[in-house]
Amino acid sequence: MALTGLFLILFLVVHLIGNLQLLKSDNGEAFNVYAQFMTSNPLIKVISYLNYAFILIHIIWSIILTRRNRSARGPEGYAVTRNSSHWTSRNMGILGTFIFIFLVIHLRSFWYEMHWGGIPMANYNGTDYKDLYTVVDTAYASIGFVMLYVISMALLAFHLFHGFGSAFQTLGLNHIKYNPMIRIVGVAFAIVVPALFALIPLYMYFN
Ligand code: HEM
């Protein structure tokens, strides 16, 4: 869970930097050129396949672990559930399930359209590009869709809030001296990254 989680955290950073180009006032040119590069470059394609595999392993492994933990505890469950651990730690499965539902809707709306949908074309300096920007812009014209993103990003924040620190702990990358720093970076990451993701649909809706 930790290794795949850290890879997905890296993916989120790259994905965010790419998506922030949606905010440029250039009618989508920078974003469309970037999206075309990301779907056609052979090296990026290999990384993409790794990413799909890591997402699946992360989900399947989480189900296996949850089942194993439950059966290890037995049918009586825990007498005390309100302990000192943060509620996000005890609800990673629920948070993960909602993020999975978000991901299915997200991939169907954008990723599927980019690869197999009949999307409009745009021409920059004599070269044709798929106009993914218009697909995203049209989707974010709906307040319901924007709200889905904002709520999902809040859930992602809670998921990362626990996941970031716990990944370091699982991999043994914790040390009494560095733990406070890992915690601060983890909390900052869990707030800033989802907030910037949520800003994109909000900005596009209100502009
Ligand atoms: C405002 C927020 C977001 C926007 C505007 C956005 C936009 C997009 C677009 C346009 C694509 C299709 C690009 C392509 O196929 O080349 C895509 C793919 C993808 N998105 Fe997002 N995304 C957002 C947030 C997220 C989040 C939070 C996650 C994960 C929790 C995520 C996971 C993915 C994945 C896994 C793909 C497939 C990437 C690949 O083919 O390698 N996205 N996104």
Q: 174: how many CB neighbours lie within 10 A of its CB?
A: 15
* CA 175 to ligand 1 center in whole angstroms: 34
Ligand 1 pocket test target in 7, 10, 13, 15 with most atoms within 8 Å of CB? 15
Whole-angstrom Cα distance, residue 169 to residue 163?
A: 10
Query: Is the CB of 90 within 6 Å of ligand 1?
Result: no
pLDDT digits (tens, 9 = 90+) for 56-85: 999 999 899 888 877 776 666 666 555 556
pLDDT digits (tens, 9 = 90+) for 103-147: 999 999 999 999 999 899 999 999 999 999 999 999 999 999 999
